[in-house]
């Protein structure tokens, strides 16, 4: 049900909705209201561009009221200088305070994250959350136990040999190689038959990192979880992750450290120009 409606009194027939529609299914001619032909409704990407582009908030789709959207002007976004500082200044945090993050903040971050782009606007992401440090501690202990057993049974492949160290390092020195002492984790997953599952997942995690760091939280990409779960897939059900899902994860929490300046990596990018 697209529920595409246009407020006659507001609509100026400017045609912007029709011109921007990526599926090219909105038609607006002369003094007629913009409309979607019934036989083309299935082609709608549900991207809501029509609702977003209308200068007079005349269009509703999917039952959304355009007046409930955040209004946008050219001044609405952070300045480029602010974004440059964010991208240069966000850091992997590997020391966390032993406290939970306010659930209301996590809720706001995840609601925002539901707006990240996905291939063909499929929006098939699942956000699995460990939002309680006690739950995280249980998962940490079960994982380390399984890793110790896995190491004994020679189940850790050579390329991940260093994760064998995780259980003894935690038991003997409280060094937390895998979980980095974080109280929380976000695991983003997508079905393997989504149009772009790997890209969708990585994008959502990257956006989460930037949002969370703007909120004063620390984050670190959690590739180690992938190493552990691909080595010991029997751990996936512990966090409710179906075996076939494409996924990536991020640890987060209140940082126990603070970086004072950006790093300097400008030379790291290879820039190539295409010319004919």
Ligand X SMILES: Cc1cc2nc3c(=O)[nH]c(=O)nc-3n(C[C@H](O)[C@H](O)[C@H](O)COP(=O)(O)O)c2cc1C
Q: How many residues does the chain have?
A: 276
Residue 224 sits in the site that holds ligand X (CB under 6 A)? yes
Nearest partner of 226 among 251, 261, 257, judged by Cα? 251
Measure the CA–CA gap between 200 and 124, rounded to whole angstroms: 9
Alpha-helical regions (H) of the chain? 16-20, 49-53, 80-89, 103-113, 133-152, 166-173, 197-214, 223-231
With CB under 6 A as the contact rule, the residue among 13, 64, 91, 164 that binds ligand X is 91
User: What does the per-residue mask of binding to ligand X show for 106-145, with x meaning CB under 6 A?
Assistant: ----------------------------------------
With CB under 6 A as the contact rule, the residue among 113, 220, 228, 229 that binds ligand X is 220
The secondary structure of residue 71, as a DSSP letter, is P
Measure the CA–CA gap between 22 and 24, rounded to whole angstroms: 5
Q: Choose between 180 and 184: whose C-beta lies nearer to ligand X.
A: 180
Which position's Cβ is nearest ligand X?
Answer: 223
Q: Choose the binding region for ligand X from 2-10, 45-53, 77-85, 221-229 (rule: CB under 6 A).
A: 221-229
Q: Choose between 4 and 208: whose C-beta lies nearer to ligand X.
A: 208
Please, what is the minimum distance in Å from the beta carbon of residue 177 to ligand X?
8
C-beta of residue 128 within 8 angstroms of C-beta of residue 139: no
Measure the CA–CA gap between 266 and 276, rounded to whole angstroms: 27
Burial class (CB in 10 A: 0-12, 13-18, 19+), 227: middle
C-beta of residue 114 within 8 angstroms of C-beta of residue 123: yes
Residue 221 sits in the site that holds ligand X (CB under 6 A)? yes
Interacting residues with ligand X between 164 and 183 (CB under 6 A):
180
Residue 257 sits in the site that holds ligand X (CB under 6 A)? no
Q: Choose the binding region for ligand X from 76-84, 86-94, 141-149, 151-159 (rule: CB under 6 A).
A: 86-94
Query: 95 CB contacts (<8 Å, ≥6 apart)?
Result: 180, 181, 218, 255, 256, 257
Q: Choose the binding region for ligand X from 59-67, 89-97, 193-201, 231-239 (rule: CB under 6 A).
A: 89-97
With CB under 6 A as the contact rule, the residue among 94, 95, 97, 164 that binds ligand X is 94
Please, what is the minimum distance in Å from the beta carbon of residue 92 to ligand X?
3
Residue 88 sits in the site that holds ligand X (CB under 6 A)? no
**Footprint on this chain of ligand X (rule: CB under 6 A):** 91-92, 94, 180, 220-224
């Amino acid at each position: 049900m697209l529920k595409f409606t246009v407020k006659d009194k507001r609509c100026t027939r400017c045609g912007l909705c029709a011109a921007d529609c990526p599926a090219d299914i909105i038609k607006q001619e002369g003094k007629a209201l913009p409309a979607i032909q019934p036989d083309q409704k299935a082609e709608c990407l549900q991207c809501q561009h029509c609702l977003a582009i209308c200068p007079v908030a005349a269009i509703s789709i999917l039952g959304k009221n355009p007046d409930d959207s955040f209004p946008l002007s050219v001044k609405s976004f952070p300045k480029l200088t602010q974004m440059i500082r964010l991208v240069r200044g966000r850091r992997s945090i590997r020391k966390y305070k032993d406290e939970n993050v306010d659930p209301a903040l996590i809720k706001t971050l995840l609601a925002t994250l539901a707006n990240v782009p996905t291939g063909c606007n499929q929006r098939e992401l699942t956000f699995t959350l460990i939002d309680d440090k006690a739950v995280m501690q249980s998962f940490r202990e079960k994982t380390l136990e399984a890793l110790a057993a896995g190491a004994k049974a020679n189940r850790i492949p050579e390329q991940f040999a260093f994760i064998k160290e995780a259980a003894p390092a935690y038991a003997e020195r409280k060094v937390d190689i895998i979980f980095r002492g974080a109280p929380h984790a976000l695991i983003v997953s997508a079905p393997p038959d989504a149009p772009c599952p790997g890209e969708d997942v990585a994008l959502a995690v990257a956006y989460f990192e930037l949002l969370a760091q703007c909120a004063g939280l620390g984050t670190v990409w959690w590739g180690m979880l992938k190493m552990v779960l691909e080595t010991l897939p029997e751990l996936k059900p512990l966090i409710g992750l179906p075996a076939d899902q494409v996924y990536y994860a991020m640890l987060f929490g209140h940082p126990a450290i603070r970086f004072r300046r950006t790093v300097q990596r400008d030379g790291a990018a290879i820039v190539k120009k295409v010319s004919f």
